[in-house]
Amino acid sequence: MSSPIVLHFHDVSFSYPHLTVLEDVSFHVHEGEFIALVGPNGSGKTTLLKLILGLEQPKTGTIELLGQNPSKARVQIGYVPQHASYDPSFPISVLEVVKMGMVEARGRQPKEKLKEMALEALEQVELASLSDRPYSDLSGGQRRRVLVARALASKPGILILDEPVANMDKESEARLYATLGKLKGTTTILIVTHDMRMVSSLTDRVFCIDAHKEGKVGRTVVQHMLQDVEGDGIKRVLHNIEIPADQCSFPQEADNE
């Protein structure tokens, strides 16, 4: 691929005390790509995400995010967390949640500019009409789309979504992927999910955290070939065709079904 690399892992290993999680992880992502990062629960997806966001530091190896250390570059990421510990009694409106996407380490920005950018982001996820509603009044799927709007509010170059469609109804899922489809090509998108069989048809490449290299304790990352499933808007992950994680041009595509 000719577009610049925005995320690069070089031989990264990571351990918690008494637990080796990742070993020999090398992969890269190009600008504008739509990437799925899949793996079963407990495989190290959250750890890998924390490494990308600079919330954890690798034990060995290096990580470059937009050519910098992730802890410096992470403010340029639009991050959509699972937000599993959400407090429904927290008093906040939809618009205020989205404005939070532009919060800085200190100080505050002009109110009008914040409102304008937040409404623009809500338009992108088709929820502008709900901007004044309490966030807790929304359905789970709508709340997830509001979090996507919050991530988009700062107009990030990279969007990272952690399990974005978990517990989401089909309609909300379709709306979310429609939004992501509009962003594809202009924004680099990385989706983390535990569904290892199918990914969205928007996906360009899939990375899988599942395999252990011979003689290693921690897991590593490999790529698998994708196969279109016609009419369903999804691609099947072909686990029997493995590609080195750091390779981004494939000799041949899998045949369509």
Closest approach of Cβ 90 to other proteins, in Å? 6
Cα–Cα distance, 185 to 135 (Å, whole number): 30
Nearer to other proteins, 91 or 251 (CB): 91
Backbone angles phi, psi at 23, to 5 degrees: -140, 140
| Size, binding site for other proteins by CB under 8 A | 28
One-letter amino acid at 68 equals Q
* The binder of other proteins chosen from 11, 16, 42, 83 (CB under 8 A): 83
Candidates 24-32, 92-100, 121-129, 197-205: pick the segment binding other proteins (CB under 8 A): 92-100
Cα–Cα distance, 49 to 13 (Å, whole number): 13
Nearer to other proteins, 143 or 235 (CB): 143
Pure H helices in 89-233: 94-99, 111-124, 140-152, 170-183
**Residue 90 sits in the site that holds other proteins (CB under 8 A):** yes
Closest approach of Cβ 83 to other proteins, in Å? 6
Residue 245 CA neighbour count, 13 Å, CB half: 27
* The binder of other proteins chosen from 6, 22, 35, 53 (CB under 8 A): 53
**Residue 92 sits in the site that holds other proteins (CB under 8 A):** yes
* The binder of other proteins chosen from 3, 42, 55, 67 (CB under 8 A): 55
Cα–Cα distance, 207 to 201 (Å, whole number): 15
Candidates 26-34, 81-89, 193-201, 216-224: pick the segment binding other proteins (CB under 8 A): 81-89
**Residue 100 sits in the site that holds other proteins (CB under 8 A):** yes
Helix, strand, or coil here: 72?
helix
Query: Residue 83: which residues within 8 A CB-CB, separation 6 or more?
Result: 143, 147
**Residue 9 sits in the site that holds other proteins (CB under 8 A):** no
Is 112 buried (19+), middle (13-18) or exposed (0-12) by CB count in 10 A? exposed
- Compute the CA torsion angle 98, 100, 102, 104 (nearest 10 deg): 180
**Residue 19 sits in the site that holds other proteins (CB under 8 A):** no
**Residue 191 sits in the site that holds other proteins (CB under 8 A):** no
Report the interface residues with other proteins, using CB under 8 A. Answer: 53, 55, 74-75, 77, 79, 81, 83, 86-87, 89-93, 96-97, 99-101, 103-108, 134, 150
